[in-house]
Amino acid sequence: MDHRAFFFQRLGLTNRDLERYLAEALLAGGDYADLYFEYHTSTSLSLDESLIKSATQGISAGCGVRVISGERTGYAYTDDLSPERILRAARTAALIASGPNKQPIVNLKDPAGGHTLYAVASPSVDAEVAAKVELLQRADRSARSYDSRIVQVRASYADELRRILVVGSDGVVASDSQPLARMSAFCIAKDGQNSARGNSGGGGRVGIEYFQTERTPEYFAHEAARQSIIQLDARETPAGEMEVVLGPGWPGVLLHEAVGHGLEADFNRKKTSAFAGLVGKRVASEKVTVVDHGTMPSKRGSINVDDEGSPTQHTTLIENGILKGYISDKLSARLMGIANTGNGRRESYEHIPMPRMTNTYMLAGQDEPKDIIKSVKRGLFAVNFGGGQVDITNGKFVFSASEAYLIEDGEITAPVKNATLIGNGPDVLTRVSMVGNDLQLDEGVGTCGKDGQSVPVGVGMPTIKVDRLTVGGTG
Amino acid sequence: MPVETQERIELGAGLKEIAADVVAGARKAGATAADAIARDGNEFSTLVRLGEVETLKESGARALGLRVFVGKRAAATHTSDFSRDGIERLVSSAISLARATSEDPIAGLPDASSLGALKQDLDLYYDDVYSLSTADRIDYARRAEAAAMAADPRITNSDGGSFDAATGYKVLANSLGFVGEYRRSYCSVSAVPIAQAGGSAMQRDYWYSASRTLQKLESPEAVGRKAAERTLRRVGAHKVPTQKVPVVFDPMVSRGLIDHIFDAVNGDAIYRHASYLSGKLGEQIAGENITIVDDGTMVGGFGSSPFDGEGVPTRRTVVVERGILKSYLLNTYTARKLKLQTTGNAARGLTGNPGIGSGNFYLQPGDKDPKDILRDIPSGLYVTEFLGFGVNLVTGDFSRGASGLWIENGELTFPVEEITVAGNLKDMFRNVSAIGNDLEFRSSIAAPTLRIDGMTVAGE
């Protein structure tokens, strides 16, 4: 799809202007320059104590100019889109380079056809506020009627539309209009002296109708309420190494932390990742195949083009346990002599793009989920998680279980309290002994942080068994 | 490097008038009350890796946020578009959005009598953070990395050295006549070396110095050497068996522990019963040796400002005194909700209702030398880093990934990693058995070395 018209009309831009800005950026001798125009609108609503207490709307627009010279990157941005300010940003970014202008500007190409991954009739940001309010009120009623021990309910709805135009001195011109919507519910349950929390949410590159038909407020409210009630009876989590079964869907955050970040090409180019130099080597059991898939329709981590104007792709990272390759962007692909996988992403026009994940998941295996549980003598069954974190250099990663159960003699017995699981990225997947046939993607809530930049991502996994993982309980 | 091209425009120029105009415009458009915030800022950062400049970033940005009340309904809008159209849209969207929200009987601006700004100079702004040439800034980053690389042959790689500078301007105006503004500056230098030896895994750690003025920044060499020392001590780390032992927290991680207390006394969490400290005012929630203070008035502090996000003067609030919970941290809304007074802790981002922010939040130091704290421990864990966010404020349950050093007969011995430390915040702050004399503000939250007994270390 060609979304250039929005910028061309609003800013009175022409191809000639864009070429002039790029020429200015390369005036000091850079190898490559690009311009990133962004116009971002967002709304958010939140409900607390059955009242819509907060409603916000915002607009953020600007242009970032990047100049690359060898391994060096210069960057400047402006929120004032007048030609003088863009030229000034171009001159500032050009400071990184020194030498004669050695890269003549290629004529800008017409955008290629490309993906159309968002089947949205009209973006959620343009929907009536009253319709969003109703979703939140439905979530509130549903959660409160779930159980009389639910004492607090919060719900929120947030959507955005990000319009981008990327123009590179390699002639690439790409534009996109990326809708994103998300709904969340949060409950607190109380029983005597015990309190517990539960939360749930989802969405994607969808319109408001998604929450009226496919994933309703009642669905999320019910799930948040269910978790909080279950947690009221949670016991102490055991501590130490044990067998761990991870449920399908969001527990795929394990892959994101344990291997995903470590496979981002920038860290491997600099040889600062625990995975550096392991391409072609075994990093997982042969049952494990992991992909990064940016072109799944409507998913939160999907985009038609990345923030450097490259089309997104389906990239196999680990195939039957063997490391196949990295997640890359233009700079790392060029410097490492590898293919650009279309993973150059940035939070906004204020940020330099870098290799980032899209939707990262493990393919389904052969095992029946119930057989996986049955095979465990004493261990943990973790089905929901909060966030995670990784130190990509030593490979250590953690993720925190928000809903987990003891498995005793092949049976799921009691719920346990929140606990952190910790492991080592390069070898945790070698201990995956069973892989379920029940692959699920998460509901669409993930936000990934790297170097202070946040981008929406998806994760997914079938039920798996890890033979040995450290569980950070107290019992 | 080439010469500078950036001409500087005065920070925040014209924004005071714009903020006041936006408030007046909102009143005219039908708001019964309003406040507006305008921000301006410049940022510079450079990263030098293996002696070569890797990134150089320099820019400035402005933004405008408006909050309106139409009767007892509130809404907020923000924009980066300062054109007449952009501002008109900011106002009209806010008014129409407010009609969609619920009536909330206690929503509103602070009482007029509580508005104001501290008169004293808080020493928050130095234009020297922008006085260096680009070449000199790059040199700061280069020197920090070079010092780390030169410290030891086991330092084999690097995530670089960096120098950052930023200035920010903020103005807040409301329809009760309050108009306040302030500027703050910031600069920092850091290094992130990577070490490897024998067949063991690579290890990375960092160190930094930050200040409001270049004058008080530590030398890049000192920062680089400290970063190298912190990285080298991790080389060869391994797991330890699961056990209950005394745990000593380095000030860099103690700070993370009291951050959880800050979250737990946050007025929003309190009125929603989302904190284990809800309803505990006046009760013993920690040992008698624990005193925690929030002070937004400290001269030069990273968390200091003359007024909060609603135009209420900042102040010094004793949160926990000898283990007794003395005060929550509140803004106007949460104070009204709890029938208390605001503590001047409103945090106003560009968007939405004000939340709760800290001033300078710290745990009062004890009198023990950190070395003496270690000396008393026959066997235990010294934590230097947390990984992950495993804290449940509703229950107080705490379980976080950690790495550090093993304590044996009062001395630090081998490095430890891939472990967790777990407990419950309710017990942890009752079981602090030693407090160091080493309180130092490296950010707006600070705590000295702490020893906590009874926690579970999970490993093998």
**Contact state of B61 with A53 under an 8 Å Cβ cutoff:** no
**Contact state of B388 with A61 under an 8 Å Cβ cutoff:** no
Crossing angle for the helix pair A217-231 and A129-146, nearest 10 degrees? 30
**Contact state of A418 with B399 under an 8 Å Cβ cutoff:** yes
A358 and A420 assigned to the same domain: yes
Query: pLDDT > 90: what percent of chain B?
Result: 92
Residue range B425-432: average pLDDT? 98
ipTM, 2 dp: 0.93
**Contact state of A53 with B79 under an 8 Å Cβ cutoff:** no
A200 and A295 assigned to the same domain: no
Say whether residue B175 is in contact with chain A using an 8 A CB cutoff: no
- The CA distance from B83 to the nearest CA of chain A, in Å, is 10
Say whether residue A157 is in contact with chain B using an 8 A CB cutoff: no
Judge whether residue B6 has pLDDT over 70: no
Residue pair A362/A462 in contact (Cβ under 8 Å)? The answer is yes
Rounded Cα distance between A328 and A72, Å, is 17
Q: Is A297 part of a structural domain of the chain?
A: yes
Can you give the CATH number for the domain in which A211 is found? 3.30.2290.10
Mean pLDDT value across chain B:
95
Give me the residues of A, 293-352, that contact B with CB < 8 A. 350, 352
Q: Is A102 part of a structural domain of the chain?
A: no
Give the range among A26-30, A160-164, B95-99, B208-212 with minimum mean pLDDT: A26-30
Rounded Cα distance between B168 and B126, Å, is 11
- The CA distance from A52 to the nearest CA of chain B, in Å, is 5
Say whether residue A423 is in contact with chain B using an 8 A CB cutoff: yes
pLDDT in tens, A146-181: 999 999 999 999 999 999 999 999 999 999 999 999
- Report the half-sphere exposure of A17 (CA within 13 A, side-chain side): 14
A383 and A260 assigned to the same domain: yes
pLDDT in tens, A404-440: 999 999 999 999 998 899 999 988 999 999 999 999 9
pLDDT in tens, A203-220: 999 999 999 999 999 999
- Nearest-by-Cβ selection for A391 from B78, B387, B458: B387
Give me the residues of A, 283-302, that contact B with CB < 8 A. none
Closest to A178 (Cα-Cα) out of A347, A423, A405: A347
Judge whether residue B2 has pLDDT over 70: no
DSSP at B236: T
Say whether residue B419 is in contact with chain A using an 8 A CB cutoff: yes
Chain B residue numbers touching A240 (CB-CB < 8 A): 242, 458-460
Residue range A92-106: average pLDDT? 76
A275 and A186 assigned to the same domain: no
pLDDT category, A246, cuts 50, 70, 90?
very high
pLDDT in tens, B354-366: 999 999 999 999 9
Q: Is A362 part of a structural domain of the chain?
A: yes
Say whether residue A353 is in contact with chain B using an 8 A CB cutoff: no
**Contact state of B202 with A241 under an 8 Å Cβ cutoff:** no
Judge whether residue A187 has pLDDT over 60: yes
Total of domains in chain A: 2
- The last residue of one of the domains, among A205, A231, A257, is A231
Give me the residues of A, 68-97, that contact B with CB < 8 A. 71-80, 88-89, 91-92, 95-96
Chain B residue numbers touching A472 (CB-CB < 8 A): 390, 399-401, 419-422, 458
pLDDT in tens, A58-88: 999 999 999 999 999 999 999 999 999 999 9
What are the DSSP E strand ranges found in A29-71?
32-48, 51-69
Which of B381, B420, B427 is the best residue to mutate to test the A interface, defined by the most A CB atoms within 10 Å of its own CB? B420
A188 and A273 assigned to the same domain: no
pLDDT category, B9, cuts 50, 70, 90?
low
Judge whether residue A100 has pLDDT over 90: no
Give the range among A208-217, A218-227, B251-260, B387-396 with minimum mean pLDDT: B387-396
Judge whether residue B350 has pLDDT over 50: yes
Task: Provide CB contacts within 8 A for A28, sequence distance 6+.
Answer: A67, A94, A95, A96, A97, A98, A99, A101, B2
Chain A nearest-CA residue for B6: A92
Q: Is A367 part of a structural domain of the chain?
A: yes
Q: Please give the distance of CA B393 from its chain centroid, rounded to a whole number.
A: 18
- The last residue of one of the domains, among A190, A215, A231, is A231
Chain B residue numbers touching A79 (CB-CB < 8 A): 61-63, 80
Judge whether residue A105 has pLDDT over 70: no
Query: pLDDT > 70: what percent of chain B?
Result: 98
- The CA distance from A366 to the nearest CA of chain B, in Å, is 30
Residue pair A424/A398 in contact (Cβ under 8 Å)? The answer is no
Rounded Cα distance between A42 and A55, Å, is 11
Residue type, A371: D
pLDDT in tens, A369-411: 999 999 999 999 999 998 899 999 999 999 999 999 999 999 9
Q: Is A258 part of a structural domain of the chain?
A: yes
Q: What domains does chain B contain, in order, with CATH numbers?
A: 15-229 (3.30.2290.10), 237-460 (no CATH)
pLDDT category, B1, cuts 50, 70, 90?
very low
Say whether residue A27 is in contact with chain B using an 8 A CB cutoff: no
- The CA distance from A115 to the nearest CA of chain B, in Å, is 30
A448 and A312 assigned to the same domain: yes
Chain A residue numbers touching B62 (CB-CB < 8 A): 79
A218 and A256 assigned to the same domain: no
Residue pair A322/A280 in contact (Cβ under 8 Å)? The answer is yes
- CB contacts < 8 A (A, B): 269
Query: pLDDT > 70: what percent of chain A?
Result: 98
Give the sign of the dihedral formed by CA A450, CA A454, CA A455, CA A456: positive
- Nearest-by-Cβ selection for A133 from B100, B387, B399: B100
Residue pair A400/A385 in contact (Cβ under 8 Å)? The answer is yes
What per-residue confidence (pLDDT) applies to A108? 85
Q: Please give the distance of CA A132 from its chain centroid, rounded to a whole number.
A: 24
pLDDT in tens, B255-280: 999 999 999 999 999 999 999 999 99
- The CA distance from B70 to the nearest CA of chain A, in Å, is 13
Give me the residues of B, 318-377, that contact A with CB < 8 A. 350-353
- The CA distance from B119 to the nearest CA of chain A, in Å, is 33
Which domain, by its residues, includes A251? 239-472
pLDDT category, B289, cuts 50, 70, 90?
very high
Residue range A291-311: average pLDDT? 97
A254 and A402 assigned to the same domain: yes
Closest to B447 (Cα-Cα) out of B386, B376, B363: B363
Chain A residue numbers touching B81 (CB-CB < 8 A): 59, 61
**Contact state of A129 with B100 under an 8 Å Cβ cutoff:** yes
Task: Provide CB contacts within 8 A for B119, sequence distance 6+.
Answer: none
**Contact state of B5 with A91 under an 8 Å Cβ cutoff:** yes
Closest to A471 (Cα-Cα) out of A285, A236, A259: A236
**Contact state of B49 with A270 under an 8 Å Cβ cutoff:** yes
Q: Is A6 part of a structural domain of the chain?
A: no
pLDDT category, A321, cuts 50, 70, 90?
very high
Query: pLDDT > 90: what percent of chain A?
Result: 88
Say whether residue B129 is in contact with chain A using an 8 A CB cutoff: no
**Contact state of B59 with A77 under an 8 Å Cβ cutoff:** yes
**Contact state of A58 with B350 under an 8 Å Cβ cutoff:** yes
Give me the residues of A, 113-132, that contact B with CB < 8 A. 129-130
pLDDT in tens, B69-87: 999 999 999 999 999 999 9
Task: Provide CB contacts within 8 A for B294, sequence distance 6+.
Answer: B262, B316, B317, B319, B329, B343, B345, B358, B359, B360, B361
Rounded Cα distance between B54 and B51, Å, is 9
A311 and A460 assigned to the same domain: yes
Judge whether residue B5 has pLDDT over 80: no
A341 and A416 assigned to the same domain: yes
pLDDT in tens, B131-159: 889 999 999 999 999 999 999 999 999 99
A252 and A147 assigned to the same domain: no
pLDDT category, B4, cuts 50, 70, 90?
very low
Judge whether residue B344 has pLDDT over 90: yes
pLDDT category, B200, cuts 50, 70, 90?
confident
A395 and A444 assigned to the same domain: yes
**Contact state of B460 with A240 under an 8 Å Cβ cutoff:** yes
What per-residue confidence (pLDDT) applies to A103? 60
Say whether residue B392 is in contact with chain A using an 8 A CB cutoff: yes
Rounded Cα distance between B313 and B306, Å, is 6
Say whether residue B78 is in contact with chain A using an 8 A CB cutoff: yes
Rounded Cα distance between A379 and A357, Å, is 31
**Contact state of B456 with A473 under an 8 Å Cβ cutoff:** yes
pLDDT category, A96, cuts 50, 70, 90?
confident
| Cβ burial B287-308 (10 Å sphere, 16+ → b, else e) | bebbbbbbbbbbebbbbbbbbb
What per-residue confidence (pLDDT) applies to B247? 98
- The CA distance from A273 to the nearest CA of chain B, in Å, is 8
- The last residue of one of the domains, among A197, A231, A265, is A231
Residue range B298-313: average pLDDT? 97
pLDDT in tens, B26-70: 999 999 999 999 999 999 999 999 999 999 999 988 999 999 999
Give me the residues of A, 195-234, that contact B with CB < 8 A. 195-197
Judge whether residue B8 has pLDDT over 60: no
Q: Is A457 part of a structural domain of the chain?
A: yes
Q: Is A432 part of a structural domain of the chain?
A: yes
